Amino acid sequence: MSHQVTPITDVGLLLTVLLLALAAGVSALLRLGLLRSLAWGTVRCVLQLTLIGYALGWIFSVDRPDLVIAIVVLMCVVAAHTATLRTPSVSHFPTVIAFVSLAASTFLVMVIVCAVIIQAEPWYTARLAIPIAGMILGNGVSGVALSIDRLYAAVRARSAEVETLLSLGATPWEAVSDCVREAVRAGMTPTLNALMVVGLVSLPGMMTGQILGGVDPVEAVRYQIVVMLMITAAVAIGSIILVGLSYKRLFTDDDALKPDLLSSSGT
């Protein structure tokens, strides 16, 4: 099979506006009020992807380990900030905890995939490390956000049970261990659902892109298997680290459940 990539011409790229016109037509027909959002979202999409395309071209040409690590750390910072913004019901959740969870899981899985599975030389090759980190973080953000939200929601819902266990001499961990497990399960649910339907219902973007680029479908599938499993591992590790660092924040210094958790808003 030929591995030659069929380039998209400037005219072809401009013709994708027709696809936007279809979405805009539906919005106008149903009076959804999304025309401005569609237009602004499209402009941002084109500008952001164009800029990142040129930036990655330069980064790949430099290919320095310190630059790769700095970029991945920056990606983790942005991802952590985004994750905490997605949990408005959990007030003032420290971004640093989300950052530690995402950074630890991302670097651990990224190094294993690049150095052990793909066996890249060197393992920090920018062309591999940065896209892999991006795929991990893209899914890790949702996992972390869901875990945070579910942990606090579960403890609020079971506050009477938790207080009873504490009064009977249980440690904070023993009192909320069921809530912790529920939070980790919630964080992993979207990823597990994706595992169940990949190849049957959905053809992921990475595999599709490789096939469109002329790669043998069997080879593309191998890479997609690695991607799906690395994302699953990273989300699991990140969620576990997150709740492990977070559950103590549910209690006061004398191991009593914080009063603000008894309210539905958590504020």
pLDDT in tens, the chain (267 residues): 445 566 778 787 788 888 888 888 888 888 778 888 888 888 888 898 899 889 888 888 888 889 999 999 999 999 999 888 888 777 778 889 999 999 999 999 999 999 999 888 888 888 889 999 999 998 899 999 999 989 998 988 888 898 889 888 888 898 989 999 999 999 999 888 888 887 776 667 677 777 777 777 888 888 888 888 999 999 999 999 999 998 888 888 887 888 776 554 444
What is the pTM for the complete model shown? 0.80
Residue 267 lies in a domain: no
Residue 33 lies in a domain: yes
Confidence (pLDDT) at 3:
54
Confidence (pLDDT) at 263:
56
For residues 1 and 22, membership in a common domain is answered with yes
For residues 55 and 77, membership in a common domain is answered with no
Asked which of 17, 41, 62 is the last residue of a domain, the reply is 62
Residue 128 lies in a domain: yes
Confidence (pLDDT) at 73:
95
Confidence (pLDDT) at 1:
47
Asked which of 43, 62, 81 is the last residue of a domain, the reply is 62
Judge residue 142's burial from the number of C-beta atoms within 10 Å of its C-beta, 0-12 exposed, 13-18 middle, 19 or more buried: middle
For residues 113 and 220, membership in a common domain is answered with yes
Confidence (pLDDT) at 137:
93
For residues 229 and 188, membership in a common domain is answered with yes
Give the structural domain span for 2. 1-62
Residue 81 lies in a domain: yes
Specify the amino acid at residue 56: L
For residues 193 and 126, membership in a common domain is answered with yes
Confidence (pLDDT) at 267:
40
Number of domains in the chain: 2
